[in-house]
Amino acid sequence: MADIKALKADLDRRMEGAVEVLHKEFGGLRTGRASVSLLDPVQVEAYGQSMPLNQVGTVGVPEPRMLSVQVWDKGMVKSVEKAIMDAGLGLNPQADGQLIRIPIPALNEERRQELAKVAGKYAEEARVAVRNVRRHGMDELKKAEKDGEISEDEQRQYSDEIQKMTDSHVAKIDETLAHKEEEIMQV
């Protein structure tokens, strides 16, 4: 019985992890407002390797529609500029010494719809991750029943509990997606 509780706790933790990853991915989607997490996916070629942008400079939000990156090493300014342009975020950085200003353009309707589709794709990946965790849990229950550790009735009861846990996490994902889509489509 104790290992069933441990299994359920582990499944819940892993499903929560999938929801947290979704929140991080949504943080990188822009909604017309500047956010430091917008530049999280940017990788800069620095010192012979690829590094996250926040390891070569300080990212800030001086205005609602402006990001700034204070690059620590003067020789890295061009690399940071290139990395931001190549990241596919639709941003055009402007260097001013070691400070790079990045104006956030207003989103047009077509771009909003593209971002909503990307958000939907992220949400579907999170749902798949939650379902994979559920499948793992169900397999563990079937194995426990087969090995005689739990009865068939207990296996059904625990399966129902795992399904409810899965449904609740998928509902969280759907709710998060609806909120993000509303945020993206807001003019």
Q: What is the pLDDT of residues 10-27, one digit of tens each?
A: 999 999 999 999 988 887
Residues 69 and 123 in one domain: no
Domain end (from 82, 103, 124):
103
Range of the domain at 161: 2-27+108-185
Domain end (from 103, 137, 161):
103
What is the percent of the chain where pLDDT is above 70? 96
Residues 136 and 153 in one domain: yes
Burial readout 157-184 (b: 16 or more C-beta within 10 A, e: otherwise): ebbeebeebbeebbebbeebbeebbebb
Q: Alpha-carbon distance 178 to 34, whole Å?
A: 20
120: CATH: 1.10.132.20
DSSP code string of 38-69: GGTT-EEEETTEEEEGGGTEEEEEEETTEEEE
Q: What's the first-to-final CA gap in the chain, in angstroms?
A: 53
Show Cβ contacts of residue 30 under 8 Å, excluding neighbours closer than 6 positions.
38, 89, 104, 107, 115
Tokens of 49: 């390797």
More confident residue, 171 or 86: 171
From the list 70, 79, 130, the residue with the least C-alpha distance to 101 is 70
**Total number of domains in the chain:** 2
Q: Alpha-carbon distance 133 to 18, whole Å?
A: 9
99: CATH: 3.30.1360.40
pLDDT of residue 172: 95
Q: What is the pLDDT of residues 82-123, one digit of tens each?
A: 888 887 777 888 888 889 998 887 778 887 888 888 889 999
pLDDT of residue 104: 82
> Which residues are registered as beta bridge partners of 71?
57
The mean pLDDT value of the chain amounts to 87
Averaged pLDDT, 119-142? 93
Residues 112 and 174 in one domain: yes
Tell me if 179 sits within 8 A of 143, measured CB to CB.
Answer: no
Residues 118 and 90 in one domain: no
User: Using 50, 70 and 90 to split pLDDT, how confident is the model at 31?
Assistant: low
